[in-house]
Amino acid sequence: MLILVIGDVVGKPGRQAIVRLLPEIKQQYGVDFTVINAENVAGGIGVTPQTATDLLNAGADVLTSGNHIWAQKDIIPVLDSNVPLLRPLNYPPGVPGKGFIISKRVMVVNLIGRTFIGNFDDPFRAMDYLLEHTPEKPPIVVVDFHAEATSEKVALGRYLDGRVSAVLGTHTHVGTIDARILPGGTAYVTDIGMTGPDDSIIGDDADKVIQRFLTQLPHRLSVGKGKAILNAVLVSVDDITGRAFSIERIQKETD
């Protein structure tokens, strides 16, 4: 099975890049299953019901998220519906939504880190519990690990090596060059990267971000404009064993 996982989609430029480029990518590579991180798709922060629908209509099978999942309040009721939109698994019990989903013989899991990003339950032990207590678990398990610290991401990849098909990092919006197959057969990359405006600072208007650093004054950031890029990884997985054969980085840009 060929699984495409697309990094954090930022605002309208990111949505437009998905609509323009995803059908072409799926046809070119013969993609069987598509996961998109959608936590910044609505104006650069959060996801709304409509923007989630836009990504699903464009060809996503499952949407993941991260620390901004609660930014748009109208999405909260959707999290408990049958819409394939995940919030991180390791939020405390009782939080709306679901942290994993099984679709088309693939289990997709959304985890969030704890270092430099927030106070959450332990993602390592949350994943242990899920793997041990999901009897219907299919062989293919893909993890979106939404985390800040490189070391935490690498550690989780090593911890889950041989137990899941892929551990793929999101959140920093800057793609890393360490895509590889770990010794136990798990595909890994520290960060997939961003799908959004190229002429920006991690998706936001560059001038406004620089002003924030210069003045230290809080102000609303806006999504950058212009040509957009799409960052993704394509993972080839054995349907029977769940072991990954290969991981390939994909970067496309709009006209």
Residues forming the active site: 68
The H or E element containing residue 29 is helix 11-29
The position carrying tokens 């997985």 is 237
- DSSP assignment letter at 36: E
d(CA 149, CA 126): 18
DSSP string, 75-134: GHHHHTSSS-B---TTSPTT-SS-SEEEETTEEEEEEE--TTT-----HHHHHHHHHHS-
User: What are residue 4's DSSP bridge partners?
Assistant: 34, 234
